[in-house]
Amino acid sequence: MTRVEIPDRSPFGLHNLPYGVFSVGGGAPRVGVRAGDTVVDLSVVLTGSDGDEAFAASSLNAFMAQGPDRWAAVRQRVHDALTADVPHEAVHPVSAVRLHLPIEVADYVDFYASEHHASNLGRLFRPDAEPLLPNWRHLPVGYHGRAGTVVVSGTDIVRPCGQRKAPDEDAPTFGPSRRLDIEAELGFVVGIGSEPGSRIAVDDVAAHVFGAVLVNDWSARDIQAWEYVPLGPHLGKSFATSISAWVVPLAALESARVPLPGQSPEPLEYLRGRDDHGLDVDILVEWNGEEVSRPPYREMYWSPGQMLAHMTVNGATARTGDLFASGTVSGPERAQRGAFIELTWGGREPLTVKGVERTFLLDGDEVALTASAPGPDGTRIGFGEVVGTVRAAR
């Protein structure tokens, strides 16, 4: 038996306990919890009446489908186990494991919940019109993304090819995107879904959502700008969406609850909750190792509960493994913008990265997102990272 050492002030302390899927050597993937710089194998630690086959699995889906009572019981049991000795074979340094995509993604929806981001994109894409379209303050605008191309942090991103047509060109051409960008977002993972024809109320978010991940919604702005009218994003985004390897339980984000920044006009009744709230999550964007932005999630206009309520208000089912992301997180300040198209104002105001003027991503560039939120007693709750390196188009 051994004791898991958790460094003081670790963002992966006992108040966090995020879940992931890992393997060691060529072994089978299984479910683990991160504590400090250690991954603890739940298929070893939770046995007998505590355990079941959900932890000897290659995704969190079976565990997530067991529901909030089981999530709470397991979280307590893991907490207890880590304050005592655990079997030696359950403990691995995080540097010695391979981290896998933690969930089998069912459906993927991406929202557009930041007023600052939506306004900036409106100014860039439609310079002669009102920045926000008339529906924006009445409903959380979103689109259905591609679940099959959600990848785990560390996966290389191949530059997409497609049609692009600049405003000063007469006809589109085909080739590698010249305006490859990022979108720094939070994503929410559904554990318990809903029946066809039913809807999920804003205040029931905790009965359905298992946890949160950090998301980079890679975006080819030239492909997007040409294709998006009138049906929205398609190939400019579907080539890859990266998520963090760790799913932070919603229960770990209690201390991160903050009021929404204020909604006017008041949304329709189905978008109102008595207990609705935002989340105080600080995101950091690093480009080739240099900090370029700190997007604040607390500024988001629409809440996760409102997004889930809107997603199911027409009777569409939610399913175990559904991922719904917030849309780019941007704050009011320039250094709080979560996409390079905003940070460089459409490429017209380059950033200096490692001493070089930069606008969009070049082959070989690495982008790393990290995030943390307040936990109880002055602790921080870490989300880990979402890292990706851009590879040349094929």
Among 108-116, 150-158, 259-267, 298-306, which window interacts with Mn ion (CB under 5 A)?
Answer: 108-116
Residue 58 or 119 having the CB closest to Mn ion: 119
Among residues 183 and 342, whose Cβ is nearest to Mn ion?
183
**Which of 15, 116, 117, 208 is the catalytic position?**
117
Q: Which is nearer to Mn ion, 217 or 365 (CB)?
A: 217
- Structure token pair of residue 391: 């590879």
Closest CA to 133 of 151, 154, 108, 115: 115
Q: And the tokens for 185?
A: 């977002």
Query: What's the min distance (Å) between Cβ of 326 and Mn ion?
Result: 8
As measured in angstroms, the least distance from the Cβ of 98 to Mn ion is 27
Cα pseudo-dihedral 5, 8, 9, 10, rounded to 10: -20
Binding-site residue total for Mn ion (CB under 5 A)? 3
Q: How far is the CB of 120 from Mn ion (least distance, A)?
A: 13
> Between residues 46 and 113, which has the closer beta carbon with respect to Mn ion?
113
Of the pair 78, 325, the CB lying nearest Mn ion is at: 325
Minimum distance, C-beta of residue 93 to Mn ion, in the bound complex (Å)? 34
Window contacting Mn ion (CB under 5 A); options: 38-46, 96-104, 168-176, 183-191: 183-191
Judged by beta carbon, residue 87 or residue 232, the one nearer Mn ion is 232
CB-nearest residue to Mn ion: 217
117 is an active site residue: yes
Site for Mn ion in 189-218 (CB under 5 A): 217
From the list 12-20, 68-76, 83-91, 177-185, the region that binds Mn ion by CB under 5 A is 177-185
Applying CB under 5 A, the span of 3-11, 30-38, 50-58, 180-188 interacting with Mn ion comes to 180-188
Q: Does residue 110 bind Mn ion (CB under 5 A)?
A: yes
| 181 contact partners, CB below 8 Å, separation of at least 6 | 218, 219, 220, 221, 339, 340, 341, 360, 361
Q: How far is the CB of 214 from Mn ion (least distance, A)?
A: 13
Min dist. Cβ of residue 227 to Mn ion (A): 15
- Asked if 263 contacts 136 with a C-beta cutoff of 8 angstroms, the reply is no
Determine if 342 is a binding residue for Mn ion (CB under 5 A).
no
Instruction: Specify the length of the chain in residues.
Output: 394
Give yes or no for residue 181 binding Mn ion (CB under 5 A): no
Of residues 38 and 344, the one with the C-beta less far from Mn ion? 344
| CA 156 vs CA 153, 168, 240: distances in Å | 9, 32, 9
**Cβ(59)–Cβ(104) under 8 Å?**
yes
**Minimum distance from residue 219 beta carbon to Mn ion (Å):** 7
Interface residue with Mn ion, options 183, 222, 276, 342 (CB under 5 A): 183
The interface mask with Mn ion, positions 213-242, x = CB under 5 A, is: ----x-------------------------
Distance CA 100, CA 245 (A): 7
| Residue numbers at the binding site for Mn ion (CB under 5 A) | 110, 183, 217
Catalytic residues: 117
